[in-house]
Amino acid sequence: MAWCEGVLSLLLLLAVMATAAPTDTLQKFPLLMPHVKPERAETYFCTPIRIDPTVEYYITAFQPNASMETAHHMLLYGCETPGAEDEVWNCGEMALAQPGIKSAPVCGSGSQVIYAWARDAPKLVLPEGVAFKVGGKSPIQYIVLQVHYASVERFKDGSTDDSGVFLYYTETPQPKAAGVLLMGTGGRINPNSVEYMETACTITEDKVIHPFAFRTHTHALGRVVSGYKVSRKGYFDQWELIGKKDPQLPQMFYPIEKDLILKKGDTVAARCTMESKRDRTTRVGAFNKDEMCNFYIMYWTPSTEPLRQKYCFSPGPPLYRWQQEFSSLPKDASVIPASEESHYYHHSHHHHHY
Pairing of strands 267-276, 222-233: antiparallel
Which C-beta is closer to Cu ion: that of 176 or that of 353?
A: 353
Give exposure, 248-284, as e/b (b: 16+ Cβ within 10 Å).
bbbbbbbebeeebebeeebbbbbbbbbbbeeeeebeb
Q: Is 219 known to be catalytic?
A: yes
From 74, 197, 274, 292, active-site residue: 292
> Shortest gap between Cβ of 352 and Cu ion (angstroms)?
5
> Shortest gap between Cβ of 73 and Cu ion (angstroms)?
3
Q: Is 146 known to be catalytic?
A: yes
Asked whether position 244 contacts Cu ion by CB under 5 A, the answer is no
Question: Distance between CA 283 and CA 189 in Å, rounded?
Answer: 6
- Residue 99's identity, in one-letter code, is P
Which C-beta is closer to Cu ion: that of 43 or that of 138?
A: 43
Selected from 148, 176, 188, 245, the binder of Cu ion by CB under 5 A is 148
> Shortest gap between Cβ of 351 and Cu ion (angstroms)?
7
Give the count of residues interacting with Cu ion (CB under 5 A).
4
Asked whether position 215 contacts Cu ion by CB under 5 A, the answer is no
Asked whether position 182 contacts Cu ion by CB under 5 A, the answer is no
From 33, 74, 112, 148, active-site residue: 148
Q: Is 292 known to be catalytic?
A: yes
Q: Which stretch binds Cu ion (CB under 5 A): 35-43, 70-78, 184-192, 207-215?
A: 70-78
Asked whether position 274 contacts Cu ion by CB under 5 A, the answer is no
Q: How far apart are the first and last CA of the chain?
A: 69
Asked whether position 73 contacts Cu ion by CB under 5 A, the answer is yes
Site for Cu ion in 288-347 (CB under 5 A): 292
From 146, 174, 248, 251, active-site residue: 146
Q: Which stretch binds Cu ion (CB under 5 A): 15-23, 53-61, 174-182, 287-295?
A: 287-295
Selected from 48, 56, 65, 72, the binder of Cu ion by CB under 5 A is 72
From 74, 183, 197, 217, active-site residue: 217
- How many other CB atoms sit within 10 Å of the CB of residue 311? 13
Q: Which amino acids are annotated catalytic?
A: 72-73, 146, 148, 217, 219, 292
Contact residues for Cu ion, defined by CB under 5 A: 72-73, 148, 292
